[in-house]
């Protein structure tokens, strides 16, 4: 159902899309003069002049269709009554939107609609927010001369198969908005109008139930529907809202702006903000619908403490729990030294919270033992882009793709991982841009409705750098590089060194074919296509970073972009698609053990001096422990205390058994989270976390865009995450005081040059800001490196391909690679507690028919997956999306134990785990693995400890 987000006018719908033209034309509508860009519809021109022409099938986000005939106008000198939505404005036109003849026609149109519409307005869930109802009032409908007894659709059955919305065909006015939204906004083409004339109705797929069709539940059709035909189930259950709050999605790195519709503190609906700078009114199934976890009964709402992980939990007050944690930490430091404790920052939390946790560690703990989950996803991006360009971030806006001529996707699956960006990319591809996919697996984008990749370079996992070198070899050896750009913008000596290296015959596609498994002619074709494009852009994801050569590959991508001159303007660039909502922000704000906020190394005395003065401490000048180093130090007995805010290392980090054993060595683990996650089962203090609906703050998305998160309801546990961190700092003896997260942002701005111009007031005014935002760029920086690289000259670096140590053998003949799917999110703690689980109730192992047949495996069999690190058991799915020799799974369910199999191998520069390459054997089995059986037992014990807590006996 279409939504009006309140009375502020921010959602005014102009009826047809905005047009851009240097040619302006003037026309007159109802005697009002209006000037519009050429190509603008009469309907939009009228709206710009403040005149609302009645409409039902038109919508600003969709190309006009001209079917409802409600928007007719009269134009001097023209016969008949043209539809204003499909008629372009012309210079000198004189348009009349309200005449007695038009009123008569419009009432006639409405009569026809209403004669075939249930008259249940008072009990209809759309009552008060229905465009049909509004239009009936608008045109002054007073009678329906045809009666209601004629041939109609009132007895058609509802489709309630989708967990989030219903389809009631009896209310459909066949305006086609949903069909166009699915095609033009989402790019899925799941809907059609079935039947002809009076019989026509919307159909999902081939007259299937929505749940069985290709629909990906993005909700775009529901948002476009002017009636209650497509309707959110929460609105049906809870009724219309009385207020709305604009906030930011807490799932992926796209950072969609969302409007929470509320009744008091209860959310009744969430829909994408049409003014959202990252998403422009679109969202995916997670942000749009999967927010119910925020009030799930599993939420931790009371602090808990215990001495040992074999003890039941004891309920405590916040004061007791904080005092308990601080006493333990201080005792550990007294016994084992200042560096024996540390903290983990979460990429799910806000910038302000992330900043505060690293401040807690550096100022209150007195060391640099702070790390973040970006360690296990995009730390190579930080290293590689910083080394080559000088800034650890993507170079573009998401909108930039609309100017791209060729799009290269490397190790990224946008339709599943970053769906709204996926839809934006698909739109550009439908308009004719070229597509190169570099991925071991056939991701959706290779072949989907109206989209076919020009090249799918289906390489062997672990051979990215070989592939990038082969592409670069073609570009250099065939003289396809951009000499002018390189001469002007890059260090010429370094380019020459790289050129000599890349021209070596061993980097040619023919030589690399043996390694990558991709025919040389395909590599040559792809390289030529990319290099010849006026604007070529590269998107990449964890399929690039989570390798032993993750950082090398990021550098290789930067080399490719510089060599082809694809940096520093719209339509080009290097775009790392960050996994979690605030990976960018956590990295920006000092969550790594070697960097202070703003990517300043801890060894930099000048940078330290700034923080020493502001925080009143003397910071250590040596980097602290990274997450894997924390585990090793735990085994060595030198790391004994951990504060972990919003991160689940026991599920998300590789080699689970190793992680579990390390966590058992730690004397005090404080977990602050929404749920009893896997790490919390090894904890001694549980602090209830606050969901994104319960906090104020900001997230920074993958295009460096800082957006506001706004509080909709008070925290279920009583305190926001930032308040808990503050209490712990104070209990540790380091005074910390803020009244509101905006004050934390003010401190960030004061101490971080790239954030200097950021404030809540400016964010409220502008909607969002892309950093750097400072005196040089007071409104932010949409495109980076326009006149020069941040580091000065672009830095070409040699990227020698080095094969991973993780080799296939007779014992482990297959390669396991991992990824994610649309409906679930990372460790699944949130999405598993929503109806999204209907689409992915368990992780499964995909394998090629050849590998399956060799092992006698068919769909649905239990299969054991063994690696050097461990074994787990999943159900099998035979799929030609895999290449022979490569198997694939996701990691959204803890029982799956995907990370029981992954190894300790990691990126040479950053320790980012090599999740994407694990040598395994797959065999048919009959029962879960030993680890899974132990996991079940441990989980059962820990859940019992939580469900039957004792009252605290400690003194506060």
Q: Which residues bind ligand SF4 (CB under 6 A)?
A: 172-178, 181-182, 186, 188, 190-191, 202, 215-221, 224-227, 229-230, 249, 251-252, 254-256, 279, 283-284, 286-287, 418-420
- Quote the CA–CA distance of 375 and 346 in Å, as a whole number: 11
> Residue 83, interface with ligand FES (CB under 6 A)?
yes
What does the DSSP assignment read for 470-531? HHHHHHHHTT-S-HHHHHHHB-HHHHHHHHHHHTSGGGSHHHHHHHH---HHHHHHHHHHHH
Q: Where are the alpha helices (DSSP H) in 576-677?
A: 583-588, 605-615, 627-636, 649-652, 656-665
Q: Which does 679 bind (CB under 5 to 8 A by kind): ligand FES, ligand SF4, none?
A: none
- Quote the CA–CA distance of 531 and 512 in Å, as a whole number: 19
CB of 164 to ligand SF4, least distance (A): 9
- Quote the CA–CA distance of 326 and 641 in Å, as a whole number: 10
CB of 217 to ligand SF4, least distance (A): 5
CB of 790 to ligand FES, least distance (A): 48
Q: In what helix (H) or strand (E) does residue 101 lie, and over which residues does it extend?
A: helix 100-115
Instruction: Name the nearest CA neighbour of 377 among 417, 334, 323.
Output: 417
CB of 507 to ligand FES, least distance (A): 58
CB of 17 to ligand FES, least distance (A): 13
Question: Of 559 and 836, which CB lies nearer to ligand SF4 in the complex structure?
Answer: 836
CB of 135 to ligand FES, least distance (A): 10
Question: Of 287 and 541, which CB lies nearer to ligand SF4 in the complex structure?
Answer: 287
Q: Which does 85 bind (CB under 5 to 8 A by kind): ligand FES, ligand SF4, none?
A: ligand FES
| Cα angle 832, 191, 205; round to 5 | 75
Q: Which residue has the tokens 């009964």?
A: 297
> Which of 69, 302, 430, 855 touches ligand FES by CB under 6 A?
69
- Quote the CA–CA distance of 9 and 50 in Å, as a whole number: 12
Q: In what helix (H) or strand (E) does residue 816 lie, and over which residues does it extend?
A: strand 814-819
Q: Which residue has the tokens 């604007």?
A: 535
> Residue 644, interface with ligand FES (CB under 6 A)?
no
CB of 587 to ligand SF4, least distance (A): 18
- Quote the CA–CA distance of 847 and 814 in Å, as a whole number: 10
| Cα angle 654, 659, 664; round to 5 | 170
> Residue 726, interface with ligand FES (CB under 6 A)?
no
CB of 230 to ligand FES, least distance (A): 18
Residues paired with 88 in a beta bridge: 41
Count of CB atoms situated within 10 Å of the CB of 196: 7
- Quote the CA–CA distance of 481 and 496 in Å, as a whole number: 12
The two three-digit tokens of residue 668, written as one number: 């005090």
> Residue 85, interface with ligand FES (CB under 6 A)?
yes
> Which of 1, 5, 47, 55 touches ligand FES by CB under 6 A?
55
Q: Which does 453 bind (CB under 5 to 8 A by kind): ligand SF4, ligand FES, none?
A: none
> Which of 62, 70, 75, 412 touches ligand FES by CB under 6 A?
70
Residue 300 phi/psi, 5° resolution? -75, 125
> Residue 71, interface with ligand FES (CB under 6 A)?
yes
Q: Which does 349 bind (CB under 5 to 8 A by kind): ligand FES, ligand SF4, none?
A: none
| Gyration radius from the chain CA atoms | 29
Question: Of 255 and 568, which CB lies nearer to ligand SF4 in the complex structure?
Answer: 255
CB of 175 to ligand FES, least distance (A): 7
Residue nearest to ligand SF4 (CB): 287
Question: Of 181 and 465, which CB lies nearer to ligand FES in the complex structure?
Answer: 181
> Residue 66, interface with ligand FES (CB under 6 A)?
yes
Residue 270 phi/psi, 5° resolution? -135, 130
Residue 770 phi/psi, 5° resolution? -95, 125
> Which of 56, 124, 773, 901 touches ligand FES by CB under 6 A?
56
Instruction: Name the nearest CA neighbour of 58 among 83, 77, 92, 31.
Output: 83
Contact stretch for ligand FES (CB under 6 A) within 54-62, 222-230, 443-451, 588-596: 54-62
Contact stretch for ligand FES (CB under 6 A) within 51-59, 178-186, 504-512, 886-894: 51-59
The two three-digit tokens of residue 904, written as one number: 């300790």
Question: Of 230 and 709, which CB lies nearer to ligand FES in the complex structure?
Answer: 230
Q: Which does 55 bind (CB under 5 to 8 A by kind): ligand SF4, ligand FES, none?
A: ligand FES
CB of 43 to ligand SF4, least distance (A): 18
Residues paired with 410 in a beta bridge: 438, 540
Question: Of 247 and 932, which CB lies nearer to ligand SF4 in the complex structure?
Answer: 247
The two three-digit tokens of residue 472, written as one number: 């670069």
> Residue 685, interface with ligand FES (CB under 6 A)?
no
CB of 249 to ligand SF4, least distance (A): 3
Count of CB atoms situated within 10 Å of the CB of 51: 18
> Residue 57, interface with ligand FES (CB under 6 A)?
yes
- Quote the CA–CA distance of 716 and 696 in Å, as a whole number: 14
Residue 659 phi/psi, 5° resolution? -65, -45
Instruction: Name the nearest CA neighbour of 906 among 701, 523, 631, 678.
Output: 631
- Quote the CA–CA distance of 832 and 876 in Å, as a whole number: 20
- Quote the CA–CA distance of 166 and 162 in Å, as a whole number: 7
Question: Of 57 and 668, which CB lies nearer to ligand FES in the complex structure?
Answer: 57
> Which of 42, 68, 533, 758 touches ligand FES by CB under 6 A?
68
Question: Of 707 and 896, which CB lies nearer to ligand SF4 in the complex structure?
Answer: 707
Contact 290, 249 (CB under 8 A): no
Q: Which does 249 bind (CB under 5 to 8 A by kind): ligand SF4, ligand FES, none?
A: ligand SF4
CB of 41 to ligand FES, least distance (A): 9
| Cα angle 420, 421, 427; round to 5 | 95
Q: Which does 68 bind (CB under 5 to 8 A by kind): ligand FES, ligand SF4, none?
A: ligand FES
CB of 258 to ligand SF4, least distance (A): 7
Count of CB atoms situated within 10 Å of the CB of 206: 10
Q: Which residue has the tokens 């689940």?
A: 648
> Residue 874, interface with ligand FES (CB under 6 A)?
no
Question: Of 703 and 914, which CB lies nearer to ligand SF4 in the complex structure?
Answer: 703
Q: Which does 443 bind (CB under 5 to 8 A by kind): ligand SF4, ligand FES, none?
A: none
Q: Which does 619 bind (CB under 5 to 8 A by kind): ligand SF4, ligand FES, none?
A: none
What is the tally of helices (H) and strands (E) in the chain? 30, 37
CB of 87 to ligand FES, least distance (A): 9
The two three-digit tokens of residue 58, written as one number: 């038109």
Residues ≥6 apart with Cβ < 8 Å to 836 = 163, 285, 286, 289, 290, 823, 824
CB of 97 to ligand FES, least distance (A): 12
> Residue 225, interface with ligand FES (CB under 6 A)?
no
Contact stretch for ligand FES (CB under 6 A) within 65-73, 283-291, 680-688, 720-728: 65-73
> Residue 39, interface with ligand FES (CB under 6 A)?
no
Residues paired with 847 in a beta bridge: 878
Contact stretch for ligand FES (CB under 6 A) within 29-37, 56-64, 782-790, 870-878: 56-64
Q: In what helix (H) or strand (E) does residue 750 lie, and over which residues does it extend?
A: helix 741-751
CB of 172 to ligand SF4, least distance (A): 3
- Quote the CA–CA distance of 851 and 878 in Å, as a whole number: 9
Number of residues that bind ligand FES (CB under 6 A): 12
Question: Of 179 and 305, which CB lies nearer to ligand SF4 in the complex structure?
Answer: 179
Binding site for ligand FES (CB under 6 A): 55-58, 66-71, 83, 85
């Amino acid at each position: 159902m279409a939504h009006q987000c309140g009375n502020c006018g921010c959602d005014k719908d102009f009826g047809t899309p905005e047009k851009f033209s240097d040619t302006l034309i003037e026309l007159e509508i109802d005697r009002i003069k209006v000037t519009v860009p050429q190509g603008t519809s009469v309907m939009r021109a009228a709206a710009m002049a403040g005149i609302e022409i009645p409409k039902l099938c038109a919508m600003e986000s969709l190309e006009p269709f001209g079917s409802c005939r409600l928007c007719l106008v009269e134009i001097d000198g023209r016969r008949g009554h043209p539809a204003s939505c499909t008629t372009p404005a012309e210079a000198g036109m004189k348009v009349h939107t309200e005449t007695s003849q038009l009123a008569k026609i419009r009432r006639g149109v409405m009569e026809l609609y209403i004669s075939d519409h249930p008259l249940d307005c008072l009990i209809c869930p759309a009552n008060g927010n229905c465009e049909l109802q509004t239009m009936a009032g608008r045109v002054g409908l007073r009678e329906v001369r045809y009666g209601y007894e004629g041939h109609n659709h009132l007895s058609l059955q509802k489709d309630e198969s989708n967990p989030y919305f219903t389809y009631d065909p009896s209310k459909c006015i066949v305006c086609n908005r949903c069909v166009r939204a699915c095609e033009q906004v989402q790019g899925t083409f799941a809907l059609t109008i079935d039947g002809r004339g009076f019989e026509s109705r919307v159909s999902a797929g081939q007259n299937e139930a929505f749940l069985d069709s290709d629909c990906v539940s993005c909700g775009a059709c529901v948002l476009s529907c002017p009636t209650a035909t497509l309707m959110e189930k929460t609105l049906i259950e809870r009724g219309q809202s009385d207020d709305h709050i604009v906030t930011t999605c807490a799932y992926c790195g796209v950072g969609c702006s969302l409007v929470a519709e509320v009744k008091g503190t209860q959310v009744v609906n969430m829909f994408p903000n049409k003014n959202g700078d990252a998403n422009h009114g679109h969202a995916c199934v997670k942000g749009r619908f999967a927010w119910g976890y925020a009030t799930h009964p599993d939420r931790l709402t009371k602090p808990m403490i215990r001495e040992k992980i074999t003890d039941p939990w004891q309920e405590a007050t916040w004061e007791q729990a904080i005092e308990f944690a601080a006493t333990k930490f201080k005792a550990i430091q007294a016994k084992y030294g200042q560096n024996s404790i540390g903290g983990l920052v979460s990429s799910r939390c806000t910038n302000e919270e992330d900043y505060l946790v690293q401040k807690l560690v550096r100022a209150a703990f007195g060391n640099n033992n702070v790390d973040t989950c970006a360690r296990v996803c995009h730390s190579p991006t930080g290293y590689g882009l910083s080394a080559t360009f000088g800034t650890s971030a993507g170079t573009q806006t998401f909108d930039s793709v609309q100017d791209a001529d060729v799009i290269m996707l490397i190790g990224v699956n946008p339709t599943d991982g970053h769906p709204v960006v996926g839809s934006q990319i698909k739109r550009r591809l439908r308009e004719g841009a070229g597509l190169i996919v570099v991925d071991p697996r056939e991701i959706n984008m290779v072949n989907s409705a109206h989209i076919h990749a020009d090249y799918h370079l289906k390489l062997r996992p672990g051979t990215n750098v070989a592939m990038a070198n082969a592409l670069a070899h073609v570009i250099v050896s065939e003289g396809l590089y951009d000499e002018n750009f390189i001469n002007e913008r890059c260090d010429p000596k370094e380019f020459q060194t790289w050129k000599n290296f890349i021209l070596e015959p061993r980097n040619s596609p023919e030589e690399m074919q043996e390694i990558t498994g991709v025919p040389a002619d395909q590599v040559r074709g792809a390289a030529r296509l990319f290099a010849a494009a006026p604007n070529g852009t590269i998107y990449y994801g964890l399929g690039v970073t989570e390798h032993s050569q993750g950082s090398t590959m990021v550098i290789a991508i930067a080399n490719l972009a510089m060599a082809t001159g694809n940096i520093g303007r719209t339509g080009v660039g290097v775009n790392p698609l960050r996994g979690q909502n605030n990976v960018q922000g956590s990295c920006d704000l000092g969550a790594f053990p070697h960097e202070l906020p703003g990517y300043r190394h801890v060894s930099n005395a000048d940078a330290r001096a700034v923080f020493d003065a502001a925080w009143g401490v003397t910071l250590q000048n040596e980097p602290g422990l990274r997450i894997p180093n924390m585990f090793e130090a735990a085994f060595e007995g030198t790391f004994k205390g951990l504060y972990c805010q919003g991160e689940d290392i026991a599920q998300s980090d590789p080699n689970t058994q190793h992680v579990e054993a390390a966590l058992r060595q730690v004397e005090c683990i404080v977990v602050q989270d929404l749920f009893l996650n896997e790490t919390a089962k090894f904890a001694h203090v549980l602090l209830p976390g606050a969901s994104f609906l319960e906090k104020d703050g900001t997230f920074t998305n993958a295009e460096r865009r800082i957006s506001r998160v706004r509080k909709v309801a008070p925290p279920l546990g009583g305190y926001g995450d930032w308040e808990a961190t503050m209490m712990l700092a104070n209990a540790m003896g380091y005074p910390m005081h803020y009244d509101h997260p905006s004050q934390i942002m003010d401190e960030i701005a004061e101490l971080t040059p790239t954030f200097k111009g950021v404030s809540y007031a400016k964010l409220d005014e502008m909607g969002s800001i892309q950093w750097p935002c400072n005196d040089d760029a007071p409104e932010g920086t949409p495109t980076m490196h326009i006149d020069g690289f941040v580091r000065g000259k672009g830095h070409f670096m040699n990227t020698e391909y080095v094969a991973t140590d993780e080799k296939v053998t007779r014992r482990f003949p297959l390669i396991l690679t991992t990824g994610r799917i649309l409906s679930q999110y990372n460790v699944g703690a949130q999405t598993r507690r929503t109806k999204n689980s209907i689409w992915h109730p368990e992780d499964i192992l995909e394998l090629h028919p050849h590998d399956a047949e060799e092992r006698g495996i068919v769909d649905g069999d239990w299969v054991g997956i063994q690696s050097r690190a461990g074994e787990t058991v999943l159900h099998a799915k035979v799929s030609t999306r895999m290449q022979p020799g490569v198997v694939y799974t996701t990691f959204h369910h803890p029982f799956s134990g995907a990370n029981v199999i992954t190894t300790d191998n990691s990126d040479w520069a950053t320790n980012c785990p090599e999740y994407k390459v694990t040598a395994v054997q797959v065999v048919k089995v009959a029962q879960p693995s030993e680890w899974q059986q132990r996991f079940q037992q441990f989980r059962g014990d820990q859940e019992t400890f939580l469900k039957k807590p004792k009252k605290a006996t400690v003194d506060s």
